[in-house]
Amino acid sequence: MDILLSAGHEVIVFSRERRDLPGEVEHYAGDILKDALPSLSGPLHGVVYLPGSIQLKPFHMISEAQFRSEWELNFLGAVKTLQAVYGLLRQAEGASVVLMSTVAVQTGMPFHASIASAKGAIEGLTRSLAAEWAPTIRVNAVAPSLTNTPLAEKLLNTPEKQTQAAQRHPLKRFGTPADIAHLIAFLLSPHSSWITGEIFHIDGGMHSLRPL
């Protein structure tokens, strides 16, 4: 967000709480699954759907309601958002959409059944909309591995956990919010104007490398 603001862009956020958003950000409070999105005027040059959820449980312990909740937040929330702003995106020249997936879609991981299933739907949506909306609107997704955010606090709250998490990645560290932010900013920018329908793995090499 700071990257976009420093580049002179107007940033609008729809979320439950404002929290520590910079003062320049225009914020609308609401729940994506319960409330209507704010009425905006176009053109809209970019949209990022960035939900927060992490529920790691053995498959047999995940209820149907929990599967549905994960799917609704990650997938249906994206659908609702993009249907609401489609007309505004069409008004812009070279509009860009960025959705969020996870390394766990392409790399099977224990206890990730609910989130990997929901994010798998996001990857399908990404490719489908990229084909349908080309050449007017670009659609890509970002698939991170473990990133040091408040959402991952329980997974990184001791030095031992941090060391173990770092060692699971070929680059020997877990992600930072800045790693993800710079990639998203690039995908929103004209510098990525010949890229659409892609899933960008930003995971320290986890999904594709097997180090010695």
| Tens digit of each residue's pLDDT (9 = 90 or more) over 158-187 | 999 999 999 999 999 999 999 999 999 999
Amino acid 118: pLDDT: 96
| Tens digit of each residue's pLDDT (9 = 90 or more) over 35-61 | 999 999 989 999 999 997 778 999 999
pLDDT for 210 beyond 90: no
Amino acid 55: pLDDT: 83
Could you list the beta-strand ranges (E) of 4-84: 12-15, 26-29, 46-48
Whole-prediction pTM = 0.94
| Domain spans, the chain | 1-30, 42-202
DSSP letter, residue 109: -
Residue type at position 58: P
Q: pLDDT category, 24, cuts 50, 70, 90?
A: very high
Residues 88 and 69: their CA atoms lie apart, in Å, by: 28
Residues 53 and 76: their CA atoms lie apart, in Å, by: 14
Amino acid 31: pLDDT: 96
Amino acid 150: pLDDT: 87
Amino acid 151: pLDDT: 85
| Tens digit of each residue's pLDDT (9 = 90 or more) over 102-161 | 999 999 999 999 999 999 999 999 999 999 999 999 999 999 999 999 888 889 999 999
Residue 7 has phi, psi (to 5 degrees) of -85, 0
pLDDT for 96 beyond 80: yes
Q: Are 97 and 140 in contact (CB under 8 A)?
A: yes
Span 51-79, mean pLDDT?
94
Residue type at position 157: N
User: Which of 55 and 24 is assigned the larger pLDDT?
Assistant: 24
- Which of these CATH numbers, 3.10.20.70, 3.30.365.10, 3.40.50.720, 3.40.50.11540, describes 42-202? 3.40.50.720
H helix runs in 27-157, sequence order: 64-71, 77-90, 113-133
pLDDT for 76 beyond 90: yes
Q: Are 187 and 195 in contact (CB under 8 A)?
A: yes
